[in-house]
Amino acid sequence: MQMKWVKLLSYAGFVYAILGYYNQYYLHWLDSIWLSGYSIEIAIVPFGLWRIAVEKVRYVRIRVAVLTFLVATIWLAFPLLTHSAFLDHHVIGSTWFFAYLGIIFLFGRRADCGWNCTCVGIRDTAGDAFSKSTLRGERFWRLRHVKWIPLALILIYLFLWAFYPRASFTWQYESIFGQVFMVIFSASLLVVPVTGNRNYCRFLCPYGALYGLVGRLGFCKIEADREKCIDCGACDRNCEMGIPVSSLVKEHGQVKVSDCVGCGRCVSMCPTKALEFRDVRSYLKRPASRRLENLPPHKEQGNRCRDMMAQAPLGEQARWT
């Protein structure tokens, strides 16, 4: 019953964020900051505080805390308090775009998506209740390439803006693309209970497509100790992006894919701590991240975990997943 109420409130947070945008630009029901384009940031703050309070995994709790703080300050408080057009929340994202490319090359896509993105932020806070609804399997894994289509459409707009900045068709293209894309983004929130929390990030986000490519060329990866892997499938079950982590671990001994947003679930939920984040710091002789728990690095550790999972009651087995 408690989970139903959480999902209901979470879904209400999605609806509120969507209504705010459409009220400001189309409906004009109320002239208030509480129902405006900033509604998504406003919704992230209370849901973020709630997620910080209930989250038991240290890495995830820290990440959500940083995400909530940055949204509350940079994306919400600064623009509202300064009334500066330069600090408008969309301008902020555009201004930092090229800096992000360099940061992501060094530290991976999670530098933006996991720590300072409002689109991901609403899913990491209000949307966490739907994290188990992720569509999985080979068919959906192949669909991840669809997000190259919106990226291509954005590149077309940049071409038009660069060579035909004053042409009417450039402005028409921008208007149509913006409206259609906002409808798609809104719909992606409303269907989260069916398709999963990361549906937009997985299949449609153009920034995610480009960030993923840069991250794949860069240093970031999730490295696996195959000696510790007991093939329990916890990483696959907890990945909201539907990445076949265990298969990639078996084939390559690491996960270096363009779809990872660095949520840390696969790393933190692995019972034998076989997975670990790596980035440019690893090449500088510094650990990329601290393991969440110190477990004995013996091969027998995997056997003990597997035996415990097999013998435990169903209710107890939930803690592994």
Quick: pLDDT tens for 260-305. Answer: 887 888 888 889 989 988 888 887 865 444 444 444 444 444 455 5
Residues whose CB falls within 8 Å of the CB of residue 70, separated by 6 or more in sequence, listed in order: 115, 116
Nearest in space to 41 (alpha carbons), one of 62, 66, 13:
13
The stretches of the chain forming alpha helices (DSSP H) are 2-22, 39-54, 58-70, 78-82, 89-95, 97-107, 118-125, 138-142, 148-163, 168-190, 192-195, 199-203, 206-217, 234-238, 245-252, 265-269, 280-283, 299-311, 314-317
* Cα gap 262→156, rounded to integer Å: 29
Segment 144-150 mean pLDDT? 90
Are 254 and 227 a contacting pair, CB within 8 Å? no
Note whether 133 and 197 are within 8 A (CB).
yes
Mean pLDDT computed over 30-35: 91
pLDDT tens string 223-256: 888 888 888 888 888 888 888 888 888 888 888 7
pLDDT attached to residue 298: 42
Domain boundaries, the chain: 220-320
Give the whole-number percent of the chain exceeding pLDDT 70: 84
SS (HEC) of 221-266: EEEECCCCCCCCCHHHHHCCCCCCHHHHHHHHCEECCCCCCCCCHH
This prediction has a pTM of 0.79
Here the tokens at position 228 are: 């510790």
Residue 306's pLDDT band (cuts 50, 70, 90): low
pLDDT at residue 129 in the model: 87
Helix (H, G, I), strand (E, B) or coil at 106: helix
Q: Determine the pLDDT at residue 200.
A: 92
The overall average pLDDT reported for the chain is 82
CA distance 50 to 31: 28
Does residue 192 have a pLDDT over 90? yes
pLDDT the model gives residue 101: 85
92 pLDDT higher than 80: no
- Record the tokens describing residue 134, joined without a space: 């992720």
Q: Most confidently modeled of 96-100, 188-192, 217-221?
A: 188-192
